[in-house]
Amino acid sequence: MFKGSLVALITPFRNGAVDDRGFQDFVAWQIKQGTTGLIPCGTTGESPTLSHAEHKRVVELCIEVARGKVPVIAGTGSNSTQEAIELTRHAKDAGADAALVVTPYYNKPTQEGLYRHFKAINDAVDLPIVIYNIPPRSVVDMSVATMARLAKLPNIVGVKDATMDLARPLRTRIALGSEFCQLSGEDITVLAFLAQGGHGCISVTANIAPALCAELHQAWQRGDLAAAQRLNERLAPLHDAMFCEASPGPVKYAASLLGKATAETRLPLCEIADESKDRVAAALRSVGLTG
């Protein structure tokens, strides 16, 4: 079971290329700060603009550093089922602990199409699969009923839920049981998501505030609701700032202010606006990450 504060890792670039050393240093820092799981090559990692070779290399670089200390859930999704199978096979061969597979974007499959897509990956690769349900980016929303069908398959173990529907984790828990891993994909909902039956969060904010995010989950797990609420309120302005423009533009700019990576993104994402930079910088100050 995956739980706690997991991070949707940024992919640092330098002069247009993946910064291998910078990425591995960043992963090592995340582990030291208390992050409980690593997700390379998700949306925050700019997977749509990574070549297949870069994608596979980033997964390998992450696994090299993790070395079993924390689980690696490699992003392997695609709107092509065969491409998703290929990337999932690579993740297994590289030593990933699981795969994060997004619902196919742009194609707009039916619920039956979603079921068959994930079943094909389940049947092709013996690796735990976390469904990534994110209707705002993929246009389709996997129903609880479809997820319940998929949960009967041996490799479908959980969901990253980015629906912003806080009734969903409770309904999912009732339908699928407490062993089906539920991870929030929206930082701002994390405490409410946990209260409704969730197990953790795949976080964007953890890229820049890993210790604080980890402390929130630790407080929740030991039953210290007051501490969890304080941390939740402290982090809220930072969560909002990380999405003042399309992610990962703001979080990469924040990482650059902390000296953890450059602010470089790849087109069609570009440098965030000056007013967004001011908002990100103010949020970092408000949380105490910068002076």
Asked if 56 and 92 touch (Cβ cutoff 8 Å), the reply is: no
- Could you confirm whether 160 is annotated as catalytic? yes
β-strand pairing of 17-18 with 13-14: antiparallel
φ/ψ of 47, rounded to 5, equals: -55, -35
Name the catalytic one among 160, 252, 260, 277: 160
- Could you confirm whether 32 is annotated as catalytic? no
Helix (H, G, I), strand (E, B) or coil at 205: helix
Task: Give the integer Cα–Cα distance in Å for 178 and 66.
Answer: 27
User: Which candidate, 218, 213, 217, places its Cα nearest to that of 242?
Assistant: 213
Residues in contact with 249: Cβ distance below 8 Å, sequence separation at least 6, in sequence order: 265, 269, 270, 271, 272, 276
Identity (one letter) of the amino acid at 154?
P
Asked if 38 and 73 touch (Cβ cutoff 8 Å), the reply is: yes
Task: Give the integer Cα–Cα distance in Å for 118 and 71.
Answer: 21
198: exposed, middle or buried (Cβ count in 10 Å: 0-12, 13-18, 19+): buried
Name the catalytic one among 3, 56, 132, 260: 132
Count Cβ atoms below 10 Å from residue 1 Cβ, excluding itself.
10
As annotated, the active-site residues are 132, 160
